[in-house]
C-alpha cells in the first residue's frame, strides 16, 4: 500500500490531513510542494483545481481535506473520526464545515498579512520541506510573491482586521464550549475537534507542525499583542492539540 500526501508544509488544511493520518496510524509519504510551482503537479493528478491537500492512495486521488477525511474513514475504519451516532455525526460535520469555511480563510489572511511583512520569517515557512534552493528563489522574487499572494487571497489591512474579528468570535465560542465539555460533537474526539485544532494551530505553533516557526519576539508587534491578549481563549485549543495530536 502506498499513501502519498501532496501538500504545503505550511498549510493548516494539510495539517488537518496529516493529523488524521497519524491518528489512524496510517504510514504515508509527504510530498512537499512550493506554492505556485505546485499547480502543474496537482492538475496532473486531479485534472481539476490546483488546491492542496491531495491524497493518493494506490492511485485513488482525493482532493480537499474534508473529502480526504471522508475517504480515510471509509478505507481505514479503525479509529473513526466521524461519529456513528446520527445526531453527533451531523453536529461534527456542521462544525467541520463552519471551521473550514470561516476559520481557515480568516487565520490565513490575518497571519499572512503580517508575516509577509517579514520575508526572513515567512520564506523558510513557505519553502519548508522542499529543496534548499527554493528559499533562494523565493527570497529573490519576494516582492512579486508578496504581490501575488496578497492579490490571490485578497490580503490587506482591512481584510486582516475583518479576519481578526472572525477569529475572536470563534475563539471565544470554542473556548466557552471546551470549558463546558471535552468535545464539540458527542462524547468522543471527532473530525470537528481535529479541524478546530489543526486550523488554529498556527496561533500556538506546535512542534509537530513541519515548519520553522518564528520566535515570538520576531513577530510584528501587532501579532504579538493580539496573541498575548487572546492567550486564554487559545489555550483550550492548544490543550486539545497536545492531548490528541500525538506525533
Per-residue pLDDT of the chain (247 residues; tens, 9 = 90+): 899 999 999 999 999 999 999 999 999 999 999 998 898 999 999 988 889 999 999 999 999 999 999 999 999 999 999 999 999 999 999 999 999 999 999 999 999 999 999 999 999 999 999 999 999 999 999 999 999 999 999 999 999 999 999 999 999 999 999 999 999 999 999 999 999 999 999 999 999 999 999 999 999 999 999 999 999 999 999 999 999 997 6
Check residue 247 and give its pLDDT.
64
Which residue shows C-alpha cell 479509529? 79
CA atoms within 13 A on the CB side of 236: 20
Are the folds of 3-75 and 86-245 the same? Answer: no
Task: Locate the domains of the chain by residue range.
Answer: 3-75, 86-245
CATH architecture of structural domain 86-245: Up-down Bundle (1.20)
Of 239, 105, 112, which is closest to residue 170 (Cα–Cα)? 105
> Superfamily for 3-75?
Glutaredoxin (3.40.30.10)
Instruction: List, in sequence order, the alpha helices (H) in 116-156.
Output: 119-126, 133-140, 142-152
Which residue shows C-alpha cell 523558510? 124
Strands, DSSP E only, in the chain?
Answer: 3-7, 29-32, 54-57, 60-63
Of 207, 196, 107, 199, which is closest to residue 159 (Cα–Cα)? 107
Residues 6+ apart with CB under 8 A from 157: 113
Check residue 36 and give its pLDDT.
85
Amino acid at each position: 500500500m502506498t499513501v502519498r500526501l501532496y501538500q504545503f508544509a505550511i498549510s493548516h488544511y494539510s495539517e488537518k490531513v496529516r493529523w488524521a493520518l497519524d491518528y489512524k496510524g496510517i504510514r504515508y509519504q509527504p510530498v512537499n510542494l512550493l506554492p505556485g510551482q505546485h499547480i502543474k503537479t496537482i492538475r496532473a493528478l486531479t485534472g481539476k483545481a490546483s488546491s492542496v491537500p491531495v491524497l493518493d492512495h494506490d492511485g485513488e486521488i482525493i482532493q480537499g481535506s474534508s473529502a480526504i477525511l471522508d475517504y480515510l474513514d471509509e478505507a481505514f475504519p479503525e479509529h473513526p473520526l466521524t461519529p456513528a451516532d446520527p445526531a453527533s455525526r451531523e453536529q461534527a460535520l456542521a462544525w467541520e464545515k463552519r471551521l473550514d469555511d470561516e476559520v481557515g480563510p480568516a487565520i490565513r489572511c490575518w497571519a499572512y498579512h503580517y508575516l509577509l511583512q517579514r520575508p526572513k520569517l515567512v520564506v523558510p515557512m513557505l519553502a519548508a520541506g522542499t529543496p534548499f534552493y527554493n528559499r533562494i528563489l523565493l527570497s529573490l522574487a519576494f516582492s512579486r510573491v508578496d504581490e501575488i499572494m496578497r492579490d490571490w487571497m485578497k490580503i490587506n489591512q482591512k481584510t486582516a482586521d475583518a479576519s481578526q474579528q472572525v477569529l475572536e468570535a470563534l475563539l471565544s465560542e470554542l473556548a466557552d464550549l471546551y470549558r463546558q465539555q471535552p468535545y464539540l460533537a458527542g462524547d468522543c474526539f471527532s473530525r470537528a475537534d481535529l479541524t478546530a485544532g489543526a486550523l488554529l494551530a498556527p496561533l500556538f505553533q506546535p512542534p509537530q507542525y513541519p515548519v520553522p516557526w518564528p520566535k515570538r519576539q520576531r513577530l510584528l508587534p501587532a501579532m504579538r499583542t493580539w496573541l498575548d491578549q487572546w492567550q486564554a481563549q487559545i489555550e483550550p485549543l492548544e490543550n486539545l492539540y497536545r492531548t490528541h495530536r500525538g506525533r
